Amino acid sequence: MNKKNQILHVAILDPIFIRNFIQFIRNNFLVENHKFLLFTNKLNLEYKTNNNINVIPLSNYRYFLKEAKKSSKIIFHGLWIDLINDLVNKYDSLLDKIYWIAWGGDFNPVDLQPTVRKTLIKKIKNIITDNYYDYLYIKEKYSNTVAKHLKCFSYPSNVFYPLEFEENSKRNSSINILIGNSADPFHRHNEILKNLKIFKNENVKIFVPLSYCKSDNKYIEEVISIGREIFKEKFIPIKDFMSLEDYRKFLSTIEIAIFGAKRQQAMGNIITLLGFGKKVYIDKETTTYKMLSDLGVRVFDLDKISIKPFDDSISKNNSTVIKNYFSEENLVKQWTSIFED
C-alpha cells in the first residue's frame, strides 16, 4: 500500500453498517488504498479477511496514532470512540486529515455529548453528511467556524434498491403501522403508542422493532407492556434480528411508518419506506424533515397522524425522487469526490 494514498477508516466494529461499507469499497474503489481500524471490546476474527482490516481491542486505542500519522485521510465513522477523540485533541496536526461522518447521536443533543467530543467537534474541519441542516446545526451549536460540508449519504444501507423487493408489496388484510426501527428511547415509543390509542378499534397492526440498539430491558418491557395494554393482539414487538433481505421484505408490507426521534435517526429505514411509496411521519422540526422536503419528498407531520390512505401521486413522486437520488451510482460519485478532495 502506498502510504501517501492510504485512507484510514476508524469505526466501532459493527455487523451491519461497516461490513456493508467495506464491501462497497471493495466493489467500487481500489481497496488497497483503504485501511480499516475497527475497535471493539470483543475480538471477532471473522472480520480479519485481509491486511486492510484490523480488529483492535479498545484498550489498544493508541494504535490509531501510528496509522493516522502515515495516512493521507482519516475517515471517522461517527465520533463514538472518545479515547481516540482525546488523542486527536492533543494532536491538532491531524485535524486537516480528519473527515467525520456525522451520524446524529454523536452530536445531537449537545448536552448528552462528552466534553472531549464537544472539544473535537468545535475544531473539526471536514463534516460528511447528506443533511445540510445537520451541518448548520453543528456549526451553530458547537461554535465551529472552520468546518466545510461534504455532501454524501455515506452508507450503502441508505441506497434504495427498487426492484429487489417491490414484488413483495401486497395489499394487507390490515393497516400495518411501524413505530421506529430500534429500541432507542429517542423514538418515543410510549408517547406514540398512546397517541395512536384512538385507532385501537380500527383494523390495524402495530409493529415495533426492539432488537437493534442498546437499551435497558426495563425500557423494552415498558414499551411492550403499554403496546399490549392498548392494542392487545394487534401489537407486535419484533425482538429478533432479521437479515437485511428479510427486513426489507418486511418494510414492503408496512403502510404507515412513524419515527418519533427529534434528531436524524433511522435514515436507511426512512429512505427504503419512501422508495416503496409508503406514508412516513417524522417530527417536522428535525433536520431530516427539512432535508427530504428540499429534495421534493413529501413526509408527514408527526403531530397530525392519520391512518387514511394518502394521494397515490404523492407516493409515486416520493418513490421516483428516492430512486433517482439514493442510488449506488450517486453514492460512488459522492465518495469519489471526498476521496479526491
**The 3-state secondary structure of 257-290, one letter per residue:** EEECCCCCCCHHHHHHHHHCCCEEEECCCCHHHH
Which domains does the chain carry?
3-158+329-339 (3.40.50.2000), 166-325 (3.40.50.2000)
**Per-residue pLDDT at 1:** 43
Give the HSE-up count for residue 234: Cα atoms under 13 Å, Cβ half-sphere.
20
Q: What is the mean pLDDT of the chain?
A: 90
89-99: pLDDT as tens digits: 999 999 999 99
47 pLDDT exceeds 80? no
Q: How far is CA 255 from CA 169, 194, 210, 304, in A?
A: 10, 19, 19, 16
**Per-residue pLDDT at 50:** 66
**Per-residue pLDDT at 172:** 73
**Per-residue pLDDT at 216:** 74
172-220: pLDDT as tens digits: 789 999 999 888 888 899 999 999 999 999 999 999 999 876 667 888 9
The amino acid sitting at 158 is: N
2 pLDDT exceeds 60? no
**Per-residue pLDDT at 5:** 79
Q: Return d(Cα 210, Cα 221) in angstroms, integer.
A: 10
Question: What is the SS3 assignment for 9?
Answer: strand
Q: For 111-124, what is the mean pLDDT?
A: 97
Q: Return d(Cα 184, Cα 189) in angstroms, integer.
A: 9
Q: Return d(Cα 299, Cα 163) in angstroms, integer.
A: 22
* 46 vs 70 pLDDT, higher one: 70
Q: Where are the beta strands (DSSP E) in the chain?
A: 7-12, 34-40, 53-57, 73-77, 98-101, 126-128, 148-150, 175-179, 204-209, 235-238, 256-259, 279-282, 300-301
The amino acid sitting at 314 is: I
144 pLDDT exceeds 50? yes
